[in-house]
Amino acid sequence: MRLHTLKNRPGARSRFKRLGHGESSGKGKTSGRGGKGQTARAGGTLRIGFEGGQMPLIRRIPKRGFNNARHRVEYLAVNLEALSGFAADSVVDHAALRSAGIARGKAGQKIKILGDGALDRRLVVHAHAFSATARGKIEAAGGECHVIAAKPAAKQA
């Protein structure tokens, strides 16, 4: 086999559609651009939300009220079955979960231990939050649950 003898598999390369080459070509007349107007022209694009000069809907509706999204605390979910890879009597903290590849997320993201799966060994687990079932299963196996306290906010001077 030589480089000059290689051929594409059948169907790997299809002929490009020739726009505007007669009505029966499949893309004739308007060349797939619809009717007349700005969007039929070359370079004629409209920004998102533009309504032809009419006041756009996003500017018409009132913007007030409470939005919980900016106050929400997002956790990285880690199930108990993922903790079964740690040796008995070991300390499982943020760094250990990261190095084991269990907690994959943003750098400073908080971790919550969830109770899906079984735990058969004693572990000392440090996390930002625990579900009730996870706490029960860890303590039933003889382990400990330690909640990592949030850092106090910096004082404004």
Does residue 59 register a pLDDT over 60?
yes
Band (pLDDT 50/70/90 cuts) for residue 69 is confident
132 in a domain, yes or no? yes
- Whole-number Å distance between alpha carbons of 19 and 22: 8
Q: Is the pTM of this model over 0.85?
A: no
What is the number of structural domains in the chain? 1
- Whole-number Å distance between alpha carbons of 85 and 102: 10
Burial class (CB in 10 A: 0-12, 13-18, 19+), 130: buried
Q: 129-130 and 123-127 as β-strands: parallel, antiparallel, unpaired?
A: unpaired
| β-strand partners of 144 | 124
Q: Which of 113, 73, 119, 118 lies closest to 96, judged by CA? A: 113
- Please state the rounded mean pLDDT for residues 82-108: 90
143 in a domain, yes or no? yes
Residue numbers of the domain that contains 131: 74-147
Band (pLDDT 50/70/90 cuts) for residue 155 is low
9 in a domain, yes or no? no
128 in a domain, yes or no? yes
Give me the CATH number covering residue 130: 3.100.10.10
2 in a domain, yes or no? no
